[in-house]
Amino acid sequence: MSTPAALRVYEHHAMVYRRTYQGSMISSFLNPVLYLSAMGLGLGTYVGRSGTAAASLGGLSYLVFLAPGLLAAVAMQQAAGESMWAVMGAIKWNKTYDAMLFTPIRIRDILAGHLAWVTTRLISVTGVFLLVMTAFGAAVWPSAILAVPAGVLTGLAFAALITAYSASQDNDDGFNALNRFVLVPMFLFSGTFFPVSQLPELIRPIAYLTPLYHGVELCRSLALGRIDPGPVFVHVVYLAALVLVGTVLAYRAFLRKLAR
C-alpha cells in the first residue's frame, strides 16, 4: 500500500498545479496555434520552394520543417520554466523542500519527484503540440507519436541541467543571463527556424553541441517519418547522457543546499 516517496513529492506538485491548470492548459494550446499560424503559415509563404534556401529544408514546406523543431523548443522552454525560479523558491524562499525533509522524504526523492513532475508537464505540452501540428497538417502519423517521447527527452535534459544550475545559485541574478545568453540564442540558432547547415562554418560546431539541436533533429525526423537510425541513435544517447549528468549535478547541488 505504501507509495514511493518520490511520488508523494509529485503529489505536492500536482496539488499546487491544480490551482493554475486552466490558464496553463489554455496557453499550451494557444502557443502552438499562434506560432504555427504566424511563422509556419504567415512567414512560411515567403520561403520559396526553390533555390538554395529551399533545398536546405530538404524539400519540405516551411510549416512542416518548422513544426517539429518548435515542439522541441517548446519542451525546452517548459522545462526551463519548471526548473528555475520554482526550484530556487522551493529551496530558498518558500523552503518547501525543507518542509519535506522534516518527514521521511529524502533529498533524492525530492529530485526524482521534481523530474517526474516536469516529465508530466512535458508529456502534456508536447502532446498538445503534436495535436495542433497534426491539425495544421505538419505531422506524419503513426511515427509522429514518437515526437512526444523525443520532446520529453529533450525537455528532461534541460530540466536536469537547469535544476542543477538553479540549486547551485545563491540568488536569481543568474537566471536572466541564462535566458539571454543561453536559452534564447539556442532557441534561435539550433535548427528550429532554419537548418544549422546555414550557419557560418565557424559557429556550426557550437550548434552541434547544444542539446536543443539534437532535440530538434530527433523530433523532426520522428514527426516526419524520415527516420535514419544512426543519427537518431546519436541524438538519443547524447540527450540521455545530458539527463544523467544533469541529474547527478542537481543531486550534488541539492545536497549542498539542503543537507547542511
Partner 1 sequence: MAEHASASLISARGLTKRFGEFTAVDAIDFDVAPGESFGFLGPNGAGKTSTMRMIGCISPVSAGRLRVLGLDPAMDGAQIRGRLGVVPQSDTLDLELTVLENLLIYGRYFDLPRRIIRARAAELLDFVQLTDRANDQVEPLSGGMKRRLTIARSLINEPDLMLLDEPTTGLDPQARHLLWDRLYRLKQRGVTLVLTTHYMDEAEQLCDRLVVMDKARIVAEGSPRSLIEQYSTREVLELRFPPGVQETLDGRLDDLAERTEALPDRLLLYTPDGEAAAVRVHERGFTPESVLVRRSSLEDVFLRLTGRSLVD
Contact residues for partner 1 (CB under 8 A)? 1-3, 5, 8-9, 11-12, 15-16, 19, 94-96, 98-106, 258-260
Q: Which one, 19 or 170, has the nearer CB to partner 1?
A: 19
Residue 23 Cβ, how far from partner 1 at the closest point, in Å? 14
Query: What is d(CA 127, CA 134) in angstroms, rounded to the nearest whole number?
Result: 11
What SS3 string covers the chain? Answer: CCCCHHHHHHHHHHHHHCCCHHHHHHHHHHHHHHHHHHHHHHHHHHCCCCHHHHHHCCCCCHHHHHHHHHHHHHHHHHHHHHHCHHHHHHHHHCCHHHHHHCCCCCHHHHHHHHHHHHHHHHHHHHHHHHHHHHHCCCCCCCHHHHHHHHHHHHHHHHHHHHHHHHHHCCCCHHHHHHHHHHHHHHHHHCCCCCCHHHCCCCCHHHHHHCHHHHHHHHHHHHHCCCCCHHHHHHHHHHHHHHHHHHHHHHHHHHHHHHCC
Smallest separation, CB 88 to partner 1 (Å):
15
Smallest separation, CB 252 to partner 1 (Å)? 14
Residue 114 CB, nearest approach to partner 1 (Å): 14
Question: 52 or 260, CB closer to partner 1?
Answer: 260
CB nearer to partner 1: pick between 177 and 259: 259
Decide whether 99 or 244 has the Cβ nearer to partner 1. Answer: 99
Cβ-based nearer residue to partner 1, 47 or 116:
116
Shortest distance (Å) from residue 158 CB to partner 1: 24
Minimum Å distance from CB 258 to partner 1?
A: 8
In the complex with partner 1, which residue's Cβ is closer, 14 or 237? Answer: 14
